[in-house]
Amino acid sequence: MRIGNGFDVHAFGEGDHVTLGGTRIAHARGLVAHSDGDVVIHALCDAIFGALALGDIGKHFPPSDQRWRHADSRQFLRHAASLMAQRGYALCNADVTVVCESPKIGPHAQAMRENLADDLGCRLDQVSIKATTTEKLGFTGREEGIAAQASVLLVER
Ligand SMILES: Nc1ccn([C@@H]2O[C@H](COP(=O)(O)O)[C@@H](O)[C@H]2O)c(=O)n1
Ligand SMILES: C[C@@]1(CO)OP(=O)(O)OP(=O)(O)OC[C@H]1O
């Protein structure tokens, strides 16, 4: 059994939507990133890479590599899932907390879980998405960006 955790932040910038957990959510601002800025998937990838002691997302998909410019982060998650399987592990469960005042995540949580379960090749009940504000405190409270934190447990196949 192996445990991993991941954390990611992206700042708000110009745009009319954010992509979280592979789900496009209309919003007054976008997220500044090399890829699509999907903090949910980036945190989840880092949790998986961490559990496998395989470094972090920037090692696998360097921000200096133009291939990942505006990339769909779901391909990062599918890659992490394939490395997990190659090394003889399967996901027991993943739990993600999204931290932002807005957008509200609740109405999109089911769609996000479905995307993540598809990419991870697991059941829906193995993937949890939660959200919290920081009660207007700190950078998320000032709506300067979105943070996500992920935990995973991997089991031998
Ligand atoms: N971006 C968010 C933030 C929160 N939620 C939901 O609201 C509940 C209350 O949030 P608090 O920060 O006041 O505890 C939280 O438990 C989530 O269900 C959300 O959907 N999107
Ligand atoms: C995802 C990558 C891809 O180049 O770039 P960003 O979209 O900027 O996201 P970050 O969370 O900073 O992780 C680093 C990179 O791997």
CATH of the domain spanning 2-156, picked from 1.20.140.10, 1.10.287.610, 3.30.1330.50, 1.10.3470.10: 3.30.1330.50
> How far does the centroid of ligand 1 lie from the alpha carbon of residue 53, in Å?
32
Supply φ then ψ for residue 123, to 5 degrees.
Answer: -80, 155
For the CA of 57, the nearest atom of ligand 2? 16
Alpha-carbon radius of gyration of the chain: 15
ipTM entry = 0.95
Q: What is the pLDDT of residues 7-49, one digit of tens each?
A: 999 999 999 999 999 999 999 999 999 999 999 999 999 999 9
Q: 136 alpha carbon to ligand 2 midpoint, in Å?
A: 26
Retrieve residue 36's tokens: 């699509």
Looking only at the bridges linking them, the beta strands covering 127-132 and 30-31 are unpaired
| CB of residue 113 inside a 6 A radius of ligand 2 | no
Instruction: List the one residue out of 92, 99, 98, 133 whose CA is nearest residue 112.
Output: 98
Please indicate whether residue 129, judged by its CB atom, sits closer than 6 Å to ligand 1. Answer: no
Predicted confidence (pLDDT) per residue in 53-101, tens digit: 999 999 999 999 999 999 999 999 999 999 999 999 999 999 999 999 9
Tell how far the Cα of 121 is from the centroid of ligand 1, in angstroms: 28
Overall residue count recorded for the chain in this entry: 157
DSSP string, 5-25: EEEEEEEEES-SEEEETTEEE
Q: Relative to the alpha carbon of 135, which ligand is closest?
A: 1
